[in-house]
Amino acid sequence: MVDPLTEVVTLLRPTAPFAKMATAAGTWIARRSETGRPFFCAIVAGTARLTVEGHDPVVLEQDDFVLVPAAFDFTMSSLDPPADGEETAYVFRPDGEIRHGDPTASPDVRMLIGYCVFASPDAGLLVSLLPQLVQVRGEPTLSTLVSLIYAEFRALRPGRDVVLARLLDVLLIEALRSAPRSAASPGLVRGLADDRLAAAMRRMHEQPGAPWTVAELAREAAMSRSAFFTRFSRLVGVTPMEYLLGWRMALAKCLLRDGVTVGDVAERVGYGSASAFSVAFTRNVGCPPAHFARRDQNPRRAKPGAGVADSEPAAAHLGRGPAARRGRAIPVA
């Protein structure tokens, strides 16, 4: 049986994360203006407040795990952040931890924070199929996986990148499948949590080239057309045909990178002719498939995500840059 969640995470090609232990004491707040990288946070001890743009604030407690597949502007703070909203200073402690707030007091919260890199050139498209925010409470497996990732990152042992890649695959799938239905925003996870929608989604992944219609997918889900369309749109966040188109385009990009001809790709993702596929691909991707294939196979082209993890230690904190160290808020981009 095809597993849509595994297929999406596999195509995302997660690579080695940056991970760091952060502690905080007293009243504090840290801001980040991000560019859509996947962010995760595990609370080892204590409590903190996470506020992600577009979502209500989330109170995080010990053994909570949060994954934001595409993080942009967010803050982390004490439960009662500073009244002026100004970002507080941080220091690097001799033991390598980052301390926010009072540098002399015992920490009120201890967090393992980190970033992943999705190496797929289609990461934006694939991430759009995932929930915008996933919170899992009290799941020992996730805490163990995060600890293993952190230990492996620091160990610098042979084969580290391979081990990290495998651990990240498991981490992402475990986080997504462990999320309770009510805690995940609309996306693939909520759709798969619904038995009827899951049946239709698996069929789309099993036969992406089939001439699916909403009515045929509704029959797979044993629902009426209108009820299926409404429930799918509400739980997944897009219409059934929009979801199918997104998956077809992701597969098409993958096949083109592997050297499959435009005509064969068109047939495998459900288009009656190469010209019809070219029109749809150009409209959705911004360039013709033949041009995309030549460009993506150019060996001089920079690898997607290259250098992000390597450059991160210079900004290894929830705040960023000299302004954060002076206690001044970072302007939102």
| Alpha-carbon torsion (85, 87, 89, 93), positive or negative | positive
Whole-angstrom Cα distance, residue 174 to residue 168? 10
pLDDT band of residue 128 (cuts 50, 70, 90) is confident
Is pLDDT at 317 greater than 60 in this prediction? no
Percent of the chain beyond pLDDT 70? 84
Which tokens is 283 given?
A: 């409209």
pLDDT tens for 45-59 read 899 999 988 888 999
Mean pLDDT to the nearest integer, 86-107: 85
For the segment 99-124, the average pLDDT, to the nearest whole number, is: 84
Residue 25 β-bridge partners: 101
Task: Give the model's pLDDT for residue 16.
Answer: 62
Closest of 179, 178, 241, 186 to residue 215, by C-alpha: 241
Q: How far apart are CA 249 and CA 289, in angstroms?
A: 10
Cα dihedral: 128, 134, 140, 142 (round 10): 30
Q: Which residues contact 99 (CB under 8 A, 6 or more apart)?
A: 22, 23, 24, 25, 90, 91, 92, 93, 107
Q: What is the tens place of the pLDDT at every residue in 209-246? A: 999 999 999 999 999 999 999 999 999 889 999 999 98
- Residue that wins the pLDDT comparison between 239 and 164: 239
How confident is the model over 190-210, as pLDDT tens digits?
Answer: 888 889 999 999 999 999 999
Kindly indicate the confidence band of residue 299, based on its pLDDT and cuts at 50, 70 and 90. very low
Among 57-61, 154-158, 300-304, 309-313, the range scoring the smallest mean pLDDT is 309-313
Mean pLDDT of the chain: 81
Looking at residue 221, what is its pLDDT? 97
